[in-house]
Amino acid sequence: MTKADVLLGLQWGDEGKGKVIDVLTPNYDVITRFQGGPNAGHTLEFNGEKYVLRSIPSGIFQGDKINVISNGVVLDPALFKAEAEALAKSGHDLTKKLYISKKAHLIMPTHRMLDAANEAAKGDAKVGTTGKGIGPTYTDKVGRYGLRVGDILLDFDKKYAAAKARHEFMLKSMNFEYDIEEAEKQWLEGIEYLKNFTLIDSEHYLNDVLAQDKTILCEGAQGTMLDVDFGSYPFVTSSNTICAGACTGMGIAPNKIGDVYGIFKAYCTRVGSGPFPSELFDEVGDTLCEKGHEFGSVTGRKRRCGWIDLVALKYSVMINGVTKLIMMKSDVLDDFDTIKACVGYRINGEEIDYFPYEINDSIEPIYKELPGWKTDMTKMKSEDEFPEAFNAYLDFLEDELEVPIKIVSVGPDREQTIVRYI
């Protein structure tokens, strides 16, 4: 019996999960998404092409590996159709290598409208969601009102009409004006399109894969700081983005989880509202944004940028039981004279080095300053080429986080990935 390895984000998302899943896929038989939905935007670059995946796992480009959308995911059939058809047009037919769990929940057009209505009602306190209906769909799942992929094969029209009527009642009571016609048409086409795929009870399939000594890589979406239980609540997403979410999101028992790859940027970003203690509002923040092309891959929104936050990262390592770290976008720091890392928080004059109940704007970050490496690392192929100051930065992070950094990424391309000897 093998175990499933999990790769997940340790910050506020967009760490580079898609890129590394693609790089690691040749080592695995099956790749699976276990939570989130089209709020995700996972970017892959290879052979001069760039792809952004939202619901489809990032293992889809490496041969005939099986990719699974598991039960913990929320799926919008209209967006899924658009994504899969775009891939088919560029020569990637997914129908034979993508399986979808019958237990994954369906995002309805009215969920997207409820998302917009909820945000409008919150005013200044809005979460800054991606507007994809994620919160309302998970709310319906937990509230036991949801529609699942398997329902499209069973008395669907009746179930859809009941769910839609309930949503319309809510939208009306919020005085939210909407026009559902076009969105609904595309959505129903998406429902038909889903029938071209193999719809399965993925928990049986995935456990059988492990029982046959084959290997699974689980692809997280969002990041630990956006986890509904442990993130910067209420400025979070509505699913468990952490390692435990892989167990519930796939039906894999905790003792069947193997390595947990924790992925982080060499600095930090966040998109949407909510606290971000090490956020920079100066020209250093602007440089990170420009050099790192920090604009949302789904919404195009400018990402907020700041220094790496080791208080938050240590918390993420603990919550997820991370066994191997992956550091991304180190090339973005290539030109800096000095680099800062947040090693503590000052709250009302008191210094702490642990992640508190609430992080808010009154937190002052405490920084340690390290020398920059001032070297273009983007063409490096091996850790033997790493400059001394870069190795010192890696040593410092490993000492703080107490987990080895196994992979370093020095550019967006598949090839710009360095696996370390450790």
Which residues are known catalytic residues?
14, 42
328 binds, among ligand GDP, ligand IMO, Mg ion, none (CB under 5 to 8 A by kind): ligand GDP
Question: Under the criterion CB under 6 A, does residue 326 sit at the interface with ligand IMO?
Answer: no
Site for ligand GDP in 39-68 (CB under 6 A): 40-43, 45
Question: What residues contact 62, with CB distance under 8 A and at least 6 apart?
Answer: 22, 25, 26
Question: Under the criterion CB under 6 A, does residue 75 sit at the interface with ligand IMO?
Answer: no
Buried b (16+ CB within 10 A) or exposed e, 180-198: beebbebbbebbebbeebe
Question: Under the criterion CB under 6 A, does residue 134 sit at the interface with ligand GDP?
Answer: no
127 binds, among ligand GDP, Mg ion, ligand IMO, none (CB under 5 to 8 A by kind): ligand IMO
Give one word for 95, left, alpha or beta, with left for phi > 0 and alpha for psi -120 to 50: alpha
Site for ligand IMO in 258-317 (CB under 6 A): 271-272
What minimum distance in Å lies between the beta carbon of 421 and ligand GDP? 19
329 binds, among Mg ion, ligand IMO, ligand GDP, none (CB under 5 to 8 A by kind): ligand GDP
Question: Under the criterion CB under 6 A, does residue 412 sit at the interface with ligand GDP?
Answer: yes
Nearest to 16, CA basis, from 244, 234, 283, 330: 330
Backbone phi, psi, residue 161, to 5°: -60, -40
Residue that has been written with the tokens 């989130």 in this structure: 36
Q: Report residue 311 as tokens.
A: 């208080």
Question: What residues contact 246, with CB distance under 8 A and at least 6 apart?
Answer: 4, 6, 8, 34, 35, 218, 220, 252, 257
Give one word for 28, left, alpha or beta, with left for phi > 0 and alpha for psi -120 to 50: beta
What minimum distance in Å lies between the beta carbon of 50 and ligand GDP? 7
Site for ligand IMO in 226-255 (CB under 6 A): 226, 237-238
375 residue type, one letter: T
Report whether 37 contacts 68 (CB < 8 A): no
Give 39 or 417: the residue with its C-beta nearer to ligand IMO.
Answer: 39
Q: Applying CB under 6 A, which of residues 5, 15, 22, 334 lies at the interface with ligand GDP?
A: 15
130 binds, among ligand IMO, Mg ion, ligand GDP, none (CB under 5 to 8 A by kind): ligand IMO
Binding segment toward ligand GDP, per CB under 6 A, in 175-183, 205-213, 289-297, 347-355 = 289-297
Total residues interacting with ligand IMO, rule: CB under 6 A: 23
Compute the CA torsion angle 408, 9, 303, 124 (nearest 10 deg): -160
Q: Applying CB under 6 A, which of residues 70, 110, 411, 418 lies at the interface with ligand GDP?
A: 411
Q: Applying CB under 6 A, which of residues 25, 129, 241, 297 lies at the interface with ligand GDP?
A: 297
